[in-house]
Amino acid sequence: MGFTVRPRRLGSGPNRRARLAPALAAGVSVLAILTACGGRAEPTKLTWHTCGDDMECSTLTVPLDHTRPQGEQLELSLTRLPAGGDRIGSLVVNPGGPGVSGLDYARAARSIVSEPVLERFDIVGFDPRGVGRSSPVHCLDDAGLDTFLALDTTPDTADEQDALVSASRDFAAACQAHSAKLLPHIGTIDVARDLDLLRDALGDPQLTYLGKSYGTLLGATYAELFPARVRALVLDGALDPALPRLTLNTEQALAFDTAFRSYLRYCLADSDCPFSSRTISGAAQELAALLRRTDTAPLHAARPVTESLATLGALTPLYDRSGWPILTAALRQARTGDGTLLLQQSDHLVGRLANGTYSNQTAANVAINCIDAPYPRDPQTYAQAAQAADRISPAFGSYLTWSSLPCAFWPAAPSKPRPLRAAGAAPILVIGTTRDPATPYSWAESLAGQLESGVLLGFDSDGHTAYFNGSGCVDEVVDRYLVTGVVPGEEVVCPDIR
């Protein structure tokens, strides 16, 4: 399915913060940097109007094909929360995904950035091309997505593998049938060029940006394309653009396994923990066995909870410690054959509403990942990689590998790999969390090393992403950098004192 992120529901207390729930094997890419031909699109003058909750909304016109700036155009939906005090400029935010709405993310501005940043910057969000309210990609209808997402993505037999291959091929064909014109122009490079047009339209000579998870790849790509136009980039929950796609899936499986074992230390300290074994290794084996049983005996809920849906439901609460009690309750239910909570978590992650409709998150996620870098075309390559990943993470490895299979049949040609260096850019702050389930800390170390001006900030904690997640140490470093451009003089690892 790809590497996706989705804002969690916001709490109501005085220290509200938006957390991201990215999921599933995805793929980051080493990017091909394309040189636009035929000049540059003319900057757009933005016309803003009020749209509730102190927000303002607008649209930005961008070319479908940046090599033909005067050709067919797209409209991107924008929103902003104006600065509350002495304004420096705009802070453009991206929650990741790919495929998650930046409009919704910016509307939660007071829960995603600190008060000093709200005072000095307009907080600007946009739905990237192909996402949400910006010319959304369309592949399957709601019933088709229900079927596709419930499909067995951990095939144990030749027949199961054939069914998965067929469904993945059909998914790619459906995307081509409904969105053929958009598919070749939906990659991160295209969005980075849109981001530069947005910066220009906002009137900022340089970009100030906060990107989380996949948003770190967008920020790093922007810096490679436009290094002189970087003012300050915060790349939180970093992806490693140097990794081959299926290697990325395997490393992510290991990170999820590490995160689950961290959860188990919390769970096993409670007498209410739903595992028979009182050891971490034993409890981890119990989860893998529970998920395997759903392959032939789905859990009961409003819809049958298949192995794929149960795995999604178990992954989702690992993105934030606040989800750990939910995971405990869901696994306690599952031991009785009830998959209600696991299904709720799975539906939240993939953007399925209670009325059975979906956002276009899954379609956009797959389409962007598949165009960003080459995937293997032979399904047997996935089978071999899944076996290796399963040895590393019996609960999550096979699922995270096979979920990328639609890219084996993708109709649009992917970008060609090239490393990201961003030579000549101002300092770029890269953040990693040591037990991040979706973007391992090693990826942040790698990206900070690849970027010539990369500076690493570590957070020794659990959960996905670090900024505005309860660490005064992280927030202080990020806020100072956004406001002044000053980075730490040496690598900092913030302790977890929550």
Residues with a catalytic annotation lie at 213, 436, 464
The Cβ-side half-sphere exposure at 277, using a 13 Å CA radius, reads 12
Dist. CA 67–CA 39, nearest whole Å: 8
Dist. CA 152–CA 140, nearest whole Å: 18
Dist. CA 295–CA 416, nearest whole Å: 37
Spatial neighbors of 443 by CB under 8 A, at least 6 apart, are 28, 238, 239, 240, 243, 251, 432
Spatial neighbors of 210 by CB under 8 A, at least 6 apart, are 91, 92, 93, 94, 112, 113, 234, 236, 467, 482
- Residue 134's beta-bridge partner residues? 131
Q: Count of CB atoms within 10 A of residue 387's CB?
A: 12
